[in-house]
Structure 1
């Protein structure tokens, strides 16, 4: 046990020195990078058809016997020959194969993914035409009004060019997430995906009574009658709370108008209650257009279109890489120490 203790101390010291060196290097790099141009990322594109074809080939190699494989190879040669002829004919007729661009948006409260979304849409718009299609795989429970408003505005850049936009929801598109979905010409959702929540909510804790109990004053100074309506630490007045609720109601009205504008088939008065609906129930309320998963939809298009996934990958600077290495080193030593000293112990 003494050996393990000494080993643990030695390991901790060694890693501490390495981490300290890394932090010094990171600090130097941070200081030297000030004033330099902000680093950017790059667009990554992959052909989803190849992924489907590879998966199909792997399955066939295991499940087909020799005779079936020979027949499959003959059928494949015939298919490739026909595709070559069709490609030549399409080229002669100047009718290129349809292109589908696939985007993914995994939304948090701040809609942070909008930074990548705007880059991806910009890239797509350099090539896409009304003959193509954009499919957005959207997952979001909603969040801040202004950031999700910006995310929805990014999607209108697609539809304003008359490029069809299909929004596919496999798990959840609620509140701000549904605001984004409404931009789509077509909304698909899995059978139990959560849809809707057309409402506005704000929760503000108030510590005024606690501060008052401990004889602590909290003063807020403003210029403008409604600069601060409610506060976490001061005493909230009925007038201030009424104004705050009024602002929420106004935001809700804007939300309802937005849904009505983009999905006129929805009875907004009936669904804008803040409730959520699962896929099939959402279809009954015209909140979506079909009950279908994103995988099912894209697989159904693999024969008629070239399907491209488009992602914006941010480049990490050396500073960020070293910072990550320092964190990993710290986590590593902690995990090793726990493993060493908790041997044969169970929780």
Structure 2
């Protein structure tokens, strides 16, 4: 029997096997700080670049009945949060499937922004959810330079080109400018939450949009999540015959090689270390 004949003989069985296989819930892990620029020390980060392929694979599954977002994030860059959320809604509309979000340890700030891209949001009773606000943080290093007799030289065209330079003393007018940005971003964040959660919200604006964080049980009472449950418990109830297929986002090269935390040049150490401290601080604010 030729190779072609063998393949032809097997086709009916392959088609039958596929027909007998059940529906699929495709799950995408969204774990880590949301940032467009992961550092060499970062093990897990979320950005449009790292999650695009995982989202595409998840929504392209041929037996798809729903997509699940597994969220564990302290937040991060608002633009990346918005871009990913918009991409999720675009794919959901194109494929006409429901999206379910599951808040794990933490879905705060940008992490909750991502959760709101789902049609329904679930959390564990002990999850931490919310932090609907905006924050900027950094380090002031001007004293460090002075202590070591280092002079930094910056030349610009445009008087505001180096606002909030960490190597220069902070200026009150720059802080006011930054607060103005925060107000605008906060308004966009709250508008997104209202758009996605709508009448499900039971708390007042003064209660919901202060940057406060709640447990999953409290978040359910406020309408920030729809129920208490995990991926497996909800899927078992909604889609008892479904298989769960997890799509993993791309990880930074050093993380894939098991070298996260390393730097390749001595000159990279200080900025990379500061970035790692900032990433650690994002999690530690929530006791994680």
Q: The TM-score by the shorter chain falls in which range?
A: 0.5 to 0.7
Instruction: Report the counterpart of residue 226 of structure 2 in structure 1.
Output: 289
d(CA) in 1 for partners of 2:173, 2:250: 48
TM-score, normalised on structure 2? 0.67
RMSD (Å) for aligned C-alpha atoms: 3.4
d(CA) in 2 for partners of 1:105, 1:204: 24
**What's the CA shift string for 1:291-334, capped at 9, x where partnerless?**
112232233346333433334678x8xxx97x97xx9xxxxxxx
1:173 aligns with 2:107: yes
Q: Which protein shows a greater Rg?
A: 1
Contact 1:204–1:231 at 8 Å: present in 2 too? Answer: no
Instruction: Report the counterpart of residue 247 of structure 1 in structure 2.
Output: 181
Q: Which moved more, 1:232-241 or 1:193-202?
A: 232-241
Instruction: Report the counterpart of residue 214 of structure 2 in structure 1.
Output: 277
Deviation, structure 1 residue 206: 2.1
TM-score, normalised on structure 1? 0.57
d(CA) in 1 for partners of 2:192, 2:240: 36
d(CA) in 2 for partners of 1:99, 1:214: 60
Deviation, structure 1 residue 225: 4.2
Cα 1:226/1:128, change in 2 over 3 Å: farther
- Following superposition of structure 1 onto structure 2, how do residues 306-317 of structure 1 map, counting pairs within 5 Å? 306-311=243-248
Contact 1:170–1:294 at 8 Å: present in 2 too? Answer: no
Contact 1:206–1:232 at 8 Å: present in 2 too? Answer: yes
**What's the CA shift string for 1:176-205, capped at 9, x where partnerless?**
100000010000000010000011111232
Contact 1:102–1:136 at 8 Å: present in 2 too? Answer: yes
- Following superposition of structure 1 onto structure 2, how do residues 1-347 of structure 1 map, counting pairs within 5 Å? 98-110=23-35, 112-114=45-47, 115-127=49-61, 132-161=65-94, 162-209=96-143, 211=145, 217-265=151-199, 266=201, 267-301=204-238, 303-311=240-248
d(CA) in 1 for partners of 2:149, 2:27: 58
Find runs of 4+ consecutive structure 1 residues off by over 6 angstroms.
none
**What's the CA shift string for 1:71-104, capped at 9, x where partnerless?**
xxxxxxxxxxxxxxxxx9xx8xxxx954321222
d(CA) in 2 for partners of 1:306, 1:210: 56
Residue ranges of structure 1 left out of the alignment (5+ in a row): 1-87, 328-347
Residue ranges of structure 2 left out of the alignment (5+ in a row): 1-15, 37-44, 263-288
d(CA) in 2 for partners of 1:104, 1:199: 23
SS in 1 for 2:52: helix
Deviation, structure 1 residue 236: 2.5
Higher helix proportion: 1
Contact 2:51–2:250 at 8 Å: present in 1 too? Answer: no
Contact 1:220–1:234 at 8 Å: present in 2 too? Answer: no
Q: Which moved more, 1:233-242 or 1:213-222?
A: 213-222
SS in 2 for 1:160: helix
d(CA) in 1 for partners of 2:183, 2:56: 34
> Aligned residue pairs: how many?
229
Contact 2:26–2:59 at 8 Å: present in 1 too? Answer: no
